[in-house]
């Protein structure tokens, strides 16, 4: 099938999505968290940016084109990238520099996404990958989005890779990033495709094309306090040797640390937070959010290397709610305390399931063998028993637990597990999403009495958001 010159124009959005389509002046959408204290100058050896997230849909008409009947393609996440609401990609773990005196900022985010389509004779004519997105704002107020790009030419079929190509120019008109501390959040920044970006997209779009606006939030490190005078050292008793963990017997190892990472299923998360269920999830009992997955810790159990027998139990829960009718959610499903067991190649994931499924069934808390996996893929290295992105297959009992949204045999999100086998082994860290973006000030009195210009901007943004909501509701009546 020949590759067309460019994707069709995006379809007109329904009224229910007008809120995201309405673009307010950027100055009204900037929210900065201003905390007491002075910001230190950027130090390359100690990056000023320590965590954060970037949310960007790239271009919705391009996503529709890739997955539509013409390209008949797909996209895949890499490097721990996630999705938000099904059509926006989230990149994580920002690092970089910031100069509070000038407002110059450089924040690089981890994760990527790859688009493929127009497959013929085992080859994708469309093959575009972007990763390591970086927002750079200069002292003079200009800003741009850069990324590592790999793309295939439509004409020659050759793939080229470019490091930190300038994909898009960002509009920061009327915005100053000077003298910020704590968290910097910029919402719905307009993005315009550059000539380099047009080449990266294989000529599907011309330079100057409006891309989806992007939102990012970065956490700035708190400057270190001035060192106090060094006191005269005094002898201290030698600490006792730490208790070995895990302990070993002739045939088994006792596990007392570790992490289990699992996103359940990306389409399920998108369904929960999307336009149908309009819901959310809540974490409890130590479960953590890794962006594209949830993390449960610690591991309690045993591993027998000779028989390859595993029993590892984790704690924590994630509760999915949505499909609300009044105050009652039609979906209220909790997955808690996962347990991995294996003997030889036969692996099983068991989860405590409770609540209400989308088909209206109510479940009392009970363990369910929700999925199976190939345990022969478990390997040892760096003093860890580990598996990365191990495929998971839904069982009949698991299909029932999800209200039969998915049939038995469905491929769920893969699992990753890291179980330390020595006291010094370490578990890979979670993606760093940074601090939560600061809340928008909604009380005009509070904003009026504050001397912080950021709070005044946030209050204006809140007022504009209310106006936008009113417009959307009025249009929905027609």
CA distance 373 to 348: 6
State the sign of the Cα–Cα–Cα–Cα dihedral 107, 266, 257, 308: negative
Alpha helix positions (H), 22-148: 60-67
* Cis-peptide, bond into residue 298, ω within 30° of zero: yes
- pLDDT at position 236 is 56
- pLDDT at position 239 is 54
- List the beta strands (DSSP E) in 359-438: 362-374, 379-381, 384-394, 411-420
- pLDDT at position 229 is 57
Cβ atoms of 55 and 135 within 8 Å: the answer is no
Cβ atoms of 150 and 158 within 8 Å: the answer is no
Show the low-confidence residues of the chain (pLDDT under 50): 1-6, 8-45, 243, 248, 250, 440-478
- pLDDT at position 202 is 74
Residues 6+ apart with CB under 8 A from 257: 245, 246, 297, 298, 299, 419, 420, 427
By CB neighbour count within 10 A (0-12 exposed, 13-18 middle, 19+ buried), where does 107 fall?
Answer: buried
- pLDDT at position 403 is 92
Specify the DSSP class assigned to residue 248.
B
Residue whose structure tokens are 């307009």: 190
Q: How many residues are present in the chain?
A: 478
Give 163-204 as a 3 state SS string: EEEEEEEECCCCCCCCCCCCEEEEEEEEEEECHHHHHHCCCC
Q: pLDDT tens digit string along 270-304?
A: 899 888 899 999 999 999 988 889 999 999 999 99
Alpha helix positions (H), 34-168: 60-67
Q: Taking Cα atoms as reference points, which of 41, 55, 28, 43 lies closest to residue 133?
A: 55
CA distances from 468 to 267, 275, 365, 445, 471 (A): 29, 18, 42, 21, 5
Instruction: Tell me the HSE value of 130 on the side-chain side, using a 13 A CA sphere.
Output: 25
Percentages helix, strand, coil for the chain (3-state, rounded to 5) are: 15, 45, 40
Cβ atoms of 308 and 296 within 8 Å: the answer is no
Specify the DSSP class assigned to residue 71.
T
- Report, in angstroms and rounded to the nearest whole number, the Rg of the chain calculated over CA atoms: 25
- pLDDT at position 1 is 43
- pLDDT at position 240 is 54
- pLDDT at position 468 is 25
Cβ atoms of 376 and 352 within 8 Å: the answer is no
- pLDDT at position 235 is 56
Q: Taking Cα atoms as reference points, which of 106, 47, 54, 63 lies closest to residue 82?
A: 54
* Residue 73, token pair as written in the block: 């393609």
- pLDDT at position 437 is 72
């Amino acid at each position: 099938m020949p590759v067309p010159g460019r994707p069709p124009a995006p379809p007109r959005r329904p009224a229910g999505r007008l809120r995201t389509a309405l673009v307010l002046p950027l100055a009204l959408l900037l929210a900065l968290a201003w905390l007491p204290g002075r910001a230190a100058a950027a130090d390359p050896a100690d990056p000023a940016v320590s965590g954060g997230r970037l949310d960007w849909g790239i271009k919705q008409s391009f996503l529709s084109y890739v997955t539509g009947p013409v390209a008949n393609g797909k996209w895949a996440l890499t490097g721990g990238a996630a999705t938000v609401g099904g059509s926006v990609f989230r990149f994580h773990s920002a690092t970089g520099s910031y100069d509070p005196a000038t407002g110059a900022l450089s924040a690089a985010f981890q994760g990527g996404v790859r688009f493929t389509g127009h497959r013929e004779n085992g080859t994708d004519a469309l093959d575009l990958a972007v990763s390591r997105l970086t927002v750079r704002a200069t002292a003079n107020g200009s800003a741009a989005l850069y990324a590592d790009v790999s793309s295939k030419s439509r004409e020659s079929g050759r793939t080229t890779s470019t490091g930190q190509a300038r994909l898009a120019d960002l509009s920061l008109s009327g915005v100053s990033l000077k003298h910020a501390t704590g968290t910097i959040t910029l919402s719905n920044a307009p993005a315009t495709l550059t000539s380099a970006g047009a080449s990266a997209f294989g000529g599907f779009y011309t330079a100057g094309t409006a891309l989806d606006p992007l939102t990012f939030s970065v956490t700035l490190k708190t400057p270190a306090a001035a060192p106090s005078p060094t006191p005269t050292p005094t002898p201290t008793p030698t600490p006792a040797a730490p208790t070995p963990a895990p302990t070993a017997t002739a045939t088994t190892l006792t596990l007392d640390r570790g992490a289990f990472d699992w996103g359940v299923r990306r389409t399920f998360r998108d369904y929960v937070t999307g336009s149908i269920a309009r819901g959310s999830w809540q974490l409890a009992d130590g479960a953590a959010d890794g962006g594209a997955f949830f993390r449960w810790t610690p591991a309690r159990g045993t591993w027998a290397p000779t028989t390859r027998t595993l029993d590892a139990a984790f704690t924590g829960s994630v509760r999915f709610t949505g499909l609300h009718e009044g105050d009652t959610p039609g979906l209220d499903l909790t997955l808690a305390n996962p347990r991995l067991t294996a003997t030889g190649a036969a692996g099983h994931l068991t989860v405590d399931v409770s609540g209400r499924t989308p088909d209206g069934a109510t479940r009392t808390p009970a363990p369910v063998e929700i999925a199976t996996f190939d345990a022969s893929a478990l390997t040892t290295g760096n003093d860890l028993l580990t598996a990365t992105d191990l495929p998971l297959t839904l069982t009949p009992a698991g299909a029932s637990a999800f209200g039969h949204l998915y049939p038995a045999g469905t491929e769920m999100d893969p699992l990753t597990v890291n179980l330390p086998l020595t006291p010094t082994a370490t578990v890979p860290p979670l993606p760093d999403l940074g601090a939560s973006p600061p809340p928008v000030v909604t009380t005009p009195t509070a904003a009026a009495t504050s001397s912080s210009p950021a709070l005044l901007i946030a209050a204006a943004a809140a007022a504009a958001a209310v106006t936008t909501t009113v417009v959307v509701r009025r249009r929905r009546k027609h």
